[in-house]
Amino acid sequence: MPIFQMIANKLTERRFAKLTQEQNEALIDTLVATKVIDGKILPEEEQELAEAVNMLTWNGSHSPEGFVQASIARARQIQPTPNALSELFVTLGTRLGDEWLREEAYYLSSLVAISDQEVHEDERVLLQSMVQAFGISAETQSLIIRKISREENF
């Protein structure tokens, strides 16, 4: 199953229906940054991501498709250096707010990063920056990694 279709399925969980628009946008920005740093985002992936956004309660000033395109353009400007990523994820972590949502964003981003069966250095730095900026404990990070490794799609 393509990664963003899998994420769309996860976004149908009831707890995601309670997110604010700012949290929705921060979650999408987090996933887009991960995918852009992971490599080229294909047109079909962009469409899948827009469809995933439609699973959220969307009240943005842009359509989901417009927001995804703007998010991709912003992510392409990011230099994958530790300082730039740290700054990005501190901001996104603040926008995500709730601890469970920061952990979920890390989980979903980890799925995106390993979806091509490789974790490049830029992705490793990105995920580590996310862990630190989101305040994810080593124990929680370990639990998330074990959960991912048990899932049958990976």
| In the predicted structure, residue 100 carries a pLDDT above the cut 90 | yes
100 or 43, higher pLDDT: 100
Determine what percent of the chain is predicted with pLDDT higher than 70. Answer: 97
> pLDDT tens, 10-46?
888 888 888 999 999 999 999 999 888 877 788 888 8
Where do the domains of the chain lie?
Answer: 3-150
Q: CB burial class (10 A; 0-12, 13-18, 19+) of residue 69? A: middle
Cα atoms found within 13 Å of the Cα of residue 99, Cβ hemisphere only: 5
Assess whether pLDDT exceeds 80 at residue 119: no
Domain 3-150: CATH class, spelled out: mainly alpha
Report the pLDDT value the prediction gives residue 74, as an integer from 0 to 100.
92
**What was the pLDDT predicted at 36?**
86
Cα-only R_g, the chain: 14
Residue 152 is predicted with a pLDDT of: 55
